[in-house]
Amino acid sequence: MPEGNNADRARRKTRVGVVVSDKMDKTVVVAVRDTTRHHLYGKIMRRTHKYAAHDAENQCGVGDRVMIMETRPLSKTKRWRVSQILEKAK
């Protein structure tokens, strides 16, 4: 493989979120909380984005805090994969 491939992998987007569903095989739904300021009124708003992420070993459970990384399209909705589990649910 060319040496530039590792640099491309380092630039991939990452998100940290909480697993909200693990009912599918090798797939989890991760909710990522985002805070933004309203452009006109200045109020801080909380938004939640849900991403379908690939979990190859089915290691994630509901409530786990995980880091997901952008990847090639794996299905109609999956463009992210779980790169590491930061904290297991209690």
- Show the domains of the chain with their CATH numbers: 4-87 (2.40.50.140)
Beta strands in the chain (DSSP E): 14-24, 27-37, 44-54, 65-70, 80-87
Q: How many residues does the chain have?
A: 90
Confidence at 2, pLDDT banded by 50, 70, 90? low
pLDDT of 90: 85
Sign of the four-CA dihedral 22, 28, 33, 39: negative
Residue range 47-85, pLDDT digits in tens: 999 999 999 999 999 999 999 999 999 999 999 999 999
SS3 call for 5: helix
pTM for this model (two decimals): 0.85
CA distance 65 to 68: 10
Task: Say if residues 44 and 36 touch (Cβ distance below 8 Å).
Answer: yes
Residue range 28-51, pLDDT digits in tens: 999 999 999 999 999 999 999 999
